[in-house]
Structure 1
């Protein structure tokens, strides 16, 4: 079996590469291509067609996306290209090659008002990122009707640079020791990337075996934490003080962050679900004035 993982240089993509390691797997990146990854601009139909034509995959996984708020605000066209256009182009390419497709989406397609959200719940995103993720889902369905769309919450795991997850920023605030206010209203469900990658692999195996799955599936940790509660857990994990941290409501007050997007995962067959982990970061918090 052959697989192509788009966005393999990212936090989730690296774990997905390991999960598909027993296949003939091709990973792509843009700007970060260490470890044998192929450089591909996922917004270029020619680049996508070239790598798919060379690899001739049985399955394709799309981990490409731009989640950083700074890019949403200051380079919205680029963020839309990374989240919507890339998803459509990869889905079109996979469909042309006859490959099965697993597309990664987000719990931010929901407004967080009436959790839990099942795969058939009505999306209502509150911010640009959520809207782009929903538009990407719609584009994928149109281009590759038999694709599996996997919605995930915030992810954590071994990072290579601070911007890979917002949990790194929370850890930085814990370690810095300076007064900091963290939202204690909006609940998140931090899920380890290895769990998400394992679900992705099991979904791919089911698709390749011809099993009938819903077009959208959910996976999430069960433990809900606010940013403030995550900070307290991180401090406890590494024996760091917490007196400089205080609870606030900045995310909730902004109006563009959902309060609780808990995903209902009960529709995912038991055979496709790995054991859930409790939240426990693997990197020691550090702080640098740079």
Structure 2
């Protein structure tokens, strides 16, 4: 089997690339926009001609599209670039996958929902609150709208896992907040409920999904079930590390004021349809505190 992974230098993309590479029978092309090394191949996904050349030469069976602008605050500052990466690029990949007769997995987000009436099923009506969510929703509509393309939209929540830098993940970076014992105070979100999900789990699920010998629905949800606010995640890290947390102040109010990016309150993804697919090992989810305790112990 031949698999292309886009965004293969990101936290999720790295895990996906590693998961497929570890299967000796899979030929993996790991694409990155700027980073090199570790088998990464540089490719600007907005360069349609170059993308077509690379894809046609490699002839993939599956394309796992992880590349995206994933940071809502950054998206607001560069709406044109975000729309191009989150909506235009997926459309081109869907058209290309139709031509090459390969399967495309478009990684989407729980932020396509407004967070007002969870849990959300794959057929729930989308209503994103901010530009990031709108561009990811537009990407979904684009890939699903290509008649004849074999496309799967996989919606996931906020992610964590092994990362070169804690700042690469909205969850991992909270470790830096807990470990900052300089006296600096942090106001921490205690408003939005999140369901942090491990990228290694997602990657392993995708490998098992490619082995499924039956039709796959066009939209799937993959999510852990443990609810946390960012403040509660900080308390969990504080417990694991044995560090005080008085410098972290819970903020239970929704984001307001100039420059604040709207965040949905609770976008819990309903995963029963995914569980019922019959993928070997089902979702295979890690427990948040257990995984972090083991991971941080290994790093000491």
SS at match of 1:38: strand
Q: Is 1:152 aligned to residue 156 of structure 2?
A: yes
Q: Once the two structures are superposed, what CA deviation does each residue of 1:31-65 show, in whole Å capped at 9, x if it has no partner?
A: 01211211111111112111111111111110010
> Which of 189, 210, 225 matches 1:183?
189
Contact (CA 8 Å) 2:94, 2:149: kept in 1 or not? no
C-alpha contact 1:64 1:86 (8 A) present in aligned 2: no
* SS of the residue 1:217 aligns to: strand
For structure 1, which segment, 150-159 or 88-97, has the greater mean C-alpha deviation from structure 2 after superposition?
88-97
Cα-Cα RMSD? 1.7
2:268 alignment partner in structure 1 = 262
Aligned to 2:98: 95
Superposed displacement of residue 115, structure 1: 0.3
Q: Is the 8 A contact 1:59 1:100 kept in 2?
A: yes
How far apart are 1:255 and its partner, in Å? 7.2
What is the CA distance between 1:168 and its match in structure 2? 3.0
1:215 aligns with 2:222: no
2:38 maps to which residue?
35
Shift, 1:70, TM fit: 3.9
CA separation of 1:20 and 1:114: change in aligned 2, threshold 3 A:
same
| Contact kept in structure 2, 1:183 and 1:249, CA below 8 Å | yes
C-alpha contact (below 8 Å) 2:118/2:266 kept by paired residues: yes
Residue matched to 1:278: 287
Following superposition, the deviation at residue 219 of structure 1 comes to: 0.7
Write the distance in 2 (CA, Å) between the matches of 1:149 and 1:46. 24
Q: From 201, 204, 217, give the equivalent of 2:210.
A: 204
1:3–1:26 contact (8 Å) kept in structure 2: yes
- Tell whether the 8 Å contact from 2:101 to 2:150 is kept in structure 1 after alignment: no
Secondary structure at the counterpart of residue 121 of structure 1: coil
> Is this contact kept in 2: 1:42–1:89, CA < 8 A?
no
Q: Summarize the alignment of residues 1-290 of structure 1 with structure 2, pairs less than 5 Å apart.
A: 1-21=1-21, 22=23, 23-143=26-146, 145-177=149-181, 178-206=184-212, 209=213, 211-253=214-256, 256-268=262-274, 269=276, 271-272=278-279, 273-280=282-289, 281=292, 282=295
- Mapped contact 1:88–1:140 kept (Cα < 8 A): yes
Q: Tell me the distance in 1 between the aligned counterparts of 2:133 and 2:145.
A: 19
Corresponding residue pairs, total: 281
Query: What is the CA distance between 1:230 and its match in structure 2?
Result: 0.4
**Deviates most, 266-275 or 101-110:** 266-275
Alpha carbons 2:166, 2:175 under 8 Å: kept: no
Report the TM-score, using the length of structure 2 for normalisation.
Answer: 0.89
Report the more deviating stretch, 68-77 or 84-93: 68-77
Q: TM-score if structure 1 supplies the norm length?
A: 0.92
CA contact (8 A) 2:178 2:234 kept: yes
